[in-house]
């Protein structure tokens, strides 16, 4: 299979039995990166052969998740369930070409054999009893309508392949049992369906989680029985939770949709995921999807399982947030801003330049989109609430605070123009006249304007807020301070 003219064809083949998991997303990402890097095709196949567990909702979630991440696929989506006839034909072919045989053992009988083996402390492997049935007996049972599965007859020898991440992996065939390929109801078992579809889709490289390593020899055997050259294989490591166990619900958010909800940017998600099990070499960390395409290579794939660290994801998100322009961030921020009823879309479009400047002002100290929205509250007209800790700390002496805010208001109100430089000059002069550090004025002012002790530089806040709103907030603050005796 070393035809250099063959364009690479890879695929992502999730089963639609839940949401798009971060592990699956990362497998999809690696495949996508590979296809884009080498000018090949990235195909999507939904493995919906388990009718009982597959749902349309999960299928939709997979599409949405991939789209959100920016991973587009080529060609029509393949639904495995639609290929039932080919799967059956392939099973038939294996049976008729002598690579398989009918097995009449019932699940109950098999169960019993398994238990017996366990009791003897032996490992269970199907004993091929049905392969020893005389042909006429088999014919009689088939004639009688006895249900049977088709099993693959594993040949002698060793099955090995050159894995792109692990190098040579070899399995002695004696350790592989004669596995079922077609159920008694005529539906295919996973390994058969996968091989049949990968052949039909002309997949050249199968890149998937390393929990599939032990399926690989079975699949290679099936390729041969079906008279097809196996593709190449690359088994990427698993993702674990902080406790070193396979990532699952009890580790918190595991669906990519969860992170979307938490205000994580797709670019950051994809960047973070890529670094879990892959490295471009050197110290490269923050990258765009486009840069990852250029840098991607299976050589950089890790063998070891990676632990998912949400802290680093957040940091990564902050990095991407700072890097993106307000114009790019706007479509992500706006829905949340509107959802929080901070502003109307008319207002945002009327003051569009101001709005973009506000996003630029806030994004630096935000780690998620939510942070931006939270910080944006004071700049819109609605009421703000004073953080009790901020009040206790910065407005400890209420009379003095009110007095300072009054003076600040007077100075600001008398400014001919609402500009940062003039404000700073005026307020620093005020501090000097009063013989206090500038912070003694800026901090109470910050609380008056934002309700919080944390915000961008105070003059940036004043400018972004605008004269009218800022002065009004000062009046509100003084009302609050003077209005009550104690609280």
Q: Which residues between 158 and 197 bind RNA (CB under 7 A)?
A: 166-167, 169-172, 175, 180, 183-185, 187, 189-191, 193
Closer to RNA by Cβ: residue 246 or 352: 246
Q: Least distance to RNA from the beta carbon of 182, Å?
A: 8
Which stretches of 70-134 are DSSP H helices? 84-96, 107-119
Least gap, CB of 441 to RNA (angstroms): 8
Residues 437-466 contacting RNA, CB under 7 A: 438-439, 442-443, 446, 453-460
DSSP state of 344: -
Residue 318 in the binding site for RNA (CB under 7 A): yes
From the candidates 245, 249, 261, 304, which is the catalytic residue?
249
470 counts as binding RNA under rule CB under 7 A: no
Query: Under 8 Å CB-to-CB from 273, ≥6 apart: which residues?
Result: 22, 25, 26, 29
Residue 277 near RNA by CB under 7 A: yes
Cα–Cα distance, 281 to 279 (Å, whole number) = 5
Q: Is the dihedral of CA 187, 191, 197, 200 positive or negative?
A: negative
Which member of 70, 300, 466, 482 binds RNA (CB under 7 A)?
Answer: 300
Burial code (b: 16+ CB inside 10 Å, e: under 16) for 248-284 equals eeebebbbbeebbeebbbbbbbbbbbbbbbbbbeeee
DSSP state of 278: B
Q: Which residue has the tokens 């009791």?
A: 119
Residues 6+ apart with CB under 8 A from 372: 321, 329, 333, 359, 362, 363, 366
What is the longest distance spanned by two Cα atoms in the chain? Answer: 111
Which of 115, 304, 352, 396 is the binder for RNA (CB under 7 A)?
A: 304
Site residue total, RNA (CB under 7 A): 85
Contact 32, 8 (CB under 8 A): no
Nearest Cα to Cα of residue 139 among 87, 184, 88, 104:
104
Q: Toward RNA, which CB reaches closer, 39 or 244?
A: 244
For RNA, the binding residue among 203, 206, 305, 342 (CB under 7 A) is: 305
**Is 418 an interacting residue with respect to RNA (CB under 7 A)?**
no
Least gap, CB of 309 to RNA (angstroms): 4
Comparing CB distances to RNA, the nearer of 21 and 348 is 21
Position 56 contacts RNA (CB under 7 A): no
299 forms part of the interface with RNA (CB under 7 A): yes
Beta-bridge partners for 46: 79
322 scored as a contact of RNA (CB under 7 A): yes
Q: Minimum distance from CB of 472 to RNA (Å)?
A: 20
**Taking CB under 7 A as the criterion, which residues in 126-145 touch RNA?**
none
Question: Got the DSSP string for 136-189?
Answer: HHHHHHHHTT---EEEE-PPSSEEEEEETTTEEEEEEGGGS---EEE-TTSPBP
- Is 249 noted as a catalytic residue in this protein? yes
Rounded to a whole number of angstroms, the minimum distance from the CB of residue 83 to RNA is: 12
Candidates 50, 347, 360, 403; binder of RNA (CB under 7 A) is: 50
Q: Pick out residues in 207-266 that bind RNA (CB under 7 A).
A: 210-215, 237-238, 240, 244-246
Question: Which CB sits closer to RNA, 169 or 338?
Answer: 169
What are residue 182's DSSP bridge partners? 150, 188
CA distances in angstroms from 31 to 88, 209, 232, 236, 405, listed in the order given: 28, 11, 13, 11, 60
Interaction residues for RNA, span 355-374 (CB under 7 A): 364-366
Site for RNA in 18-47 (CB under 7 A): 47
**C-alpha Rg value of the chain to the nearest Å:** 32
Selected binder of RNA within 84, 110, 332, 357 (CB under 7 A)? 110
- As a residue count, the chain comes to 487
Nearer to RNA, 348 or 378 (CB): 378
User: Closest distance between RNA and the C-beta of residue 84, in Å?
Assistant: 11
Q: How far is the CB of 4 from RNA (least distance, A)?
A: 23
- Stretch binding RNA (CB under 7 A), from 257-265, 296-304, 376-384, 467-475: 296-304
Which residue lies nearer to RNA by CB, 75 or 112? 112
| Residues noted as catalytic | 249
């Amino acid at each position: 299979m070393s035809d250099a003219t063959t364009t690479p064809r890879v695929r992502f083949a999730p089963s639609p039995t839940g949401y798009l998991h971060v592990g699956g997303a990362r497998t999809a990402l690696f495949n996508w990166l590979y296809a884009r890097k080498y000018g090949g095709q990235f195909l999507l196949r939904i493995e919906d052969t388990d009718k009982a567990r597959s749902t349309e909702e999960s299928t939709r979630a997979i599409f949405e998740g991939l789209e959100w991440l920016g991973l587009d696929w080529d060609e029509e989506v393949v639904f495995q369930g639609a290929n039932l006839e080919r799967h059956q034909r392939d099973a038939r072919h294996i049976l008729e070409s002598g690579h398989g045989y009918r097995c009449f053992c019932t699940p109950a009988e098999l169960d019993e054999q398994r238990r017996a083996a366990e009791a003897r402390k032996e490992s269970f492997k199907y004993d091929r009893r049905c392969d020893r049935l005389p042909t006429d007996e088999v014919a009689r049972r088939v004639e009688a309508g006895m249900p049977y599965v088709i099993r693959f007859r594993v040949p002698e020898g060793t099955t090995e392949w050159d894995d792109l991440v692990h190098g040579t992996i070899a399995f002695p065939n004696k350790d592989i049992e004669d596995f079922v390929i077609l159920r008694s109801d005529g539906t295919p078992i996973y390994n058969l369906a996968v091989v049949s579809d990968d052949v039909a889709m002309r997949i050249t490289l199968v890149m998937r989680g390393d929990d599939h390593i032990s399926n690989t020899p079975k699949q290679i055997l099936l390729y041969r029985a079906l008279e097809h050259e196996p593709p190449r294989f690359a088994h990427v490591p698993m993702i674990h939770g902080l406790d070193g166990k396979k990532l699952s619900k009890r580790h918190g958010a595991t669906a990519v949709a969860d992170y979307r909800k938490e205000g994580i940017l797709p670019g950051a998600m994809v960047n973070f995921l890529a670094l879990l099990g892959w490295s471009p070499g050197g110290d490269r960390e923050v990258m765009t999807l486009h840069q990852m395409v250029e840098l991607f290579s299976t050589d950089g794939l890790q063998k070891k399982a990676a632990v998912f660290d949400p802290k680093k994801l957040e940091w990564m998100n902050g990095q991407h947030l700072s890097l993106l322009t307000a114009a790019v961030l706007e479509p992500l921020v706006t829905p949340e801003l509107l959802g929080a009823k901070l502003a109307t879309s008319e207002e945002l479009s009327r003051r569009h330049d101001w709005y973009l400047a506000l996003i630029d002002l806030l994004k630096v100290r935000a780690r998620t989109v939510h942070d931006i929205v939270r910080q944006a509250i004071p700049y819109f007209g609605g009421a703000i609430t004073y953080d009790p800790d901020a009040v206790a700390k910065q407005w400890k002496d209420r009379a003095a605070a009110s007095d300072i805010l009054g003076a600040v208001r007077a100075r600001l109100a008398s400014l001919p123009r609402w500009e940062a430089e003039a404000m700073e000059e005026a307020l620093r002069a005020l501090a000097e006249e009063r013989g206090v550090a500038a912070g003694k004025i800026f901090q109470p002012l910050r609380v008056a304007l934002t309700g919080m002790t944390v915000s961008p530089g105070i003059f940036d806040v004043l400018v972004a807020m605008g004269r009218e709103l800022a002065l009004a907030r000062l009046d509100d603050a003084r009302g609050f301070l003077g209005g009550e005796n104690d609280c």
